[in-house]
Amino acid sequence: MQLIIRNGTEPGGVGRLDCDLIDILRILSGQGRRYVWRGRNIQYVSKDEQDIASLEALRSGTAVSGIDFVDGLGQLLQMIWGEFEATEPGSDSPLLVIRAIDGSWWEVASDDETVLNAVRQRFRLVEERPRRPSNIDLKR
């Protein structure tokens, strides 16, 4: 299942997305720190206009530990584009995929109902869609 998060873009909202990558990772209750993360197509703005080491590593194709990934996001101001895949250490099969789409919405894809339910409960404006076709297999 794929969920689309659009918090803040609803009528009467702030007129822009009001959540970011760290907000999505927080709902994982520490699981995000346990995973290995891979990323692609990453564009972001940092609070101090400096590179964020974990995001630059992902951008270059290097896998990053969950601890480095989550802890490195403290300087993130806004994620504009990016696709982030979470796997168990030693595995290549993604359990969770998070996508930033033009700073306008988030896509969260997983077969784990616990993760999907946490997204539904945490964010106000969530749409459900069948997972879009891709080369990512979320089966365990």
pLDDT tens profile 5-20: 987 777 676 667 788 9
- Residue 37 near residue 84 (C-beta atoms within 8 A): yes
Supply 17's token pair. 């997305």
The helix/strand/coil state of 74 is helix
Give the predicted TM-score (pTM) of the model: 0.87
pLDDT in tens, 91-116: 989 999 999 999 889 999 999 999 99
Outline where the chain has alpha helix (H).
21-26, 31-34, 53-59, 66-71, 113-122
Q: Which two tokens stand for residue 51?
A: 């590179």
What tokens appear for 10 in the block? 């609803």
